Structure 1
Amino acid sequence: MHDDTGLEAEVRELSDVVEALLADQGGCGWNRAQTHESLVTYLVEECAELVEAIEDGTVDDRREELGDVLYQVVLHAAIAARASDGAFDLADVVRDVRLKTVRRHPHVFGGEDAADVDDIVRLWSAAKAVEKASRSSAYDGVPRGLPALSRAQKLEGRRVAAGAAPAAGRAADTADDAELVWGRDLLAVVDEAGRDGIDAERALRRAVRERETLLRAVEPRRDGA
């Protein structure tokens, strides 16, 4: 474990390493060629590996994968700082998330009281609503890049929170679109999972891992044995 001074030093050293990689002289050509957009694939992969480490890995796995995700954050911030407009740097990112975390926990950092978890969620939601007051729809801010199961449950959760009626009808006559019809049937199952308090994405990941284990158990060995 590190004290606050040690933590600050470690973050600074990581930031310095990334700056060295991006340096015009003596840096890494591959890193200098990267953009926020080109790094998306790697960010998604690293986040997926962190999820796997959390759900099915060791403490060491989690530590390593958290570091890989942190590296992505530091790299993106450094790229932004080097841009012609100098949009932001790592200090801005850290400051913004710190202030947002404080705002969204008034029962810890403000004068609000929370009797239970429901109260905490209510206060957090109220604080977030103030920040996002400019949104024109309850469904704004649900990332299109989320896996489909996760996004479906997120949208449904927003609908329930807004007290809106379930979606009625269909966007168009697609009776001959077998894929879309299948998707609608799957969406109905996802909605059912949500009503039962089940995370559909995590449930499917668990089932897929179970299937992989079973498939590997009966897979012929390739070492000639």
Structure 2
Amino acid sequence: MHTRQQQLEAFERLLDIMDELREKCPWDRKQTMESLRNLTLEEVYELGDAILEKDSEEIKKELGDVLLHIVFYSKIGSETKDFDIADVINSLCRKLIDRHPHIYGDVEANDETQVKANWEKLKLKEGNTSVLQGVPKSLPALIKASRIQDKVAGVGFDWEEPAQVFEKVKEELAELQEEVQNKDQDNMEDEFGDVLFSMINYARFLNIDPETALERTNKKFMFRFQYLEKKAKAHNLDLSEMSLTEMDKFWNEAKSIKL
């Protein structure tokens, strides 16, 4: 590992390179915060993929790409004289110190639950009018549901036991089935959303990240289906003409393979 001095020198080198690219590269010079936004989202998802793959080399590369974007936005901010990288870092340092009074002050917090509760109270004191104010509107719905539930739990709006949450899941499933029988499409969608929301809440009580769990299932399904495709091709079979029984033979083979 590098020394603190080497880390600082590496960061300074990145800032120097960013200055040079912004001055001399036609593509870099053309970028705005708006044009970078979608690229940043893409980079974050690529980092997420690398983390799920547990690929440390790829994680390192993707972290670099995310860091580049932070430096890029800060460079643009310095050109408009709104802020620079020092403002970004100092603002972060102030926030971390202010929101950790159990480290930098005289507040006690003996577990994660207390830390979260203190965090949400501090944000309300900072001017937030709602504990949900910090949930980004553009988050994917599944992740947004997790963040909403985390935040309201932080101020005590929560179930006490996992069994209570599972009862809620069953209740929502029964309500969905009732609307399916009624064939009311709008109500079905409402109740289906309630089922998903309650399942995400249940996952939280089981210490399962629902986004990660669903992505694992996506990858598992894709692997098995692609195995099925390869086997069908190897046997000169057309998937569209195969029976489900024939497909199941290869599918079950794929299920026996550990990923």
Structure 2 length-normalised TM? 0.70
Separation in structure 1 between the aligned mates of residue 78 and residue 183 of structure 2, nearest angstrom: 51
Residue of 185, 190, 201 corresponding to 2:197 = 190
Match of 1:154 in 2: 147
- Deviation at residue 210 of structure 1 after TM alignment: 1.2
- Deviation at residue 4 of structure 1 after TM alignment: 1.9
Match of 1:218 in 2: 228
Amino acid at match of 1:13: R
- Deviation at residue 42 of structure 1 after TM alignment: 0.9
Measured on the aligned residues, the alpha-carbon RMSD in Å equals: 2.6
- Deviation at residue 73 of structure 1 after TM alignment: 0.4
Amino acid at match of 1:144: K
Separation in structure 2 between the aligned mates of residue 89 and residue 177 of structure 1, nearest angstrom: 54
- Deviation at residue 180 of structure 1 after TM alignment: 8.1
Which consecutive unaligned segments of at least 5 residues does structure 2 have? 159-181, 234-259
Label 1:183 to 1:149 Cα distance change in 2 as closer, same or farther (>3 A). Answer: farther
Label 1:13 to 1:65 Cα distance change in 2 as closer, same or farther (>3 A). Answer: same
Residue of 97, 106, 116 corresponding to 2:101 = 106
* Larger-Rg structure: 2
Conservation of the 8 A alpha-carbon contact between 1:81 and 1:87: yes
Match of 2:43 in 1: 46
Q: How many residues align?
A: 205
Which consecutive unaligned segments of at least 5 residues does structure 1 have? 165-174
Residue of 219, 223, 239 corresponding to 1:209 = 219
SS in 2 for 1:141: coil
Separation in structure 2 between the aligned mates of residue 178 and residue 81 of structure 1, nearest angstrom: 51
SS in 2 for 1:220: helix
Conservation of the 8 A alpha-carbon contact between 1:107 and 1:114: yes
The share of aligned pairs that are identical, in percent, is 29
Conservation of the 8 A alpha-carbon contact between 2:120 and 2:131: no
Conservation of the 8 A alpha-carbon contact between 1:152 and 1:187: no
Match of 2:133 in 1: 140
- Deviation at residue 77 of structure 1 after TM alignment: 0.6
Q: Deviations over 1:1-59 (max 9, x none)?
A: 22222111111110111111111xxx111111111111111101110111111121321
Q: Deviations over 1:80-119 (max 9, x none)?
A: 1112xx1001111111111111111122222223222223
- Deviation at residue 195 of structure 1 after TM alignment: 3.0
- Whether 1:124 aligns to 2:119 is yes
SS in 1 for 2:113: helix
Conservation of the 8 A alpha-carbon contact between 1:190 and 1:200: no
Q: Deviations over 1:168-208 (max 9, x none)?
A: xxxxxxx9994784365134223233134243322221211
Residue of 35, 56, 64 corresponding to 2:32 = 35
Label 1:179 to 1:33 Cα distance change in 2 as closer, same or farther (>3 A). Answer: farther
Separation in structure 2 between the aligned mates of residue 176 and residue 143 of structure 1, nearest angstrom: 34
> Which structure has more helix as a fraction of its residues?
2
Match of 1:67 in 2: 64
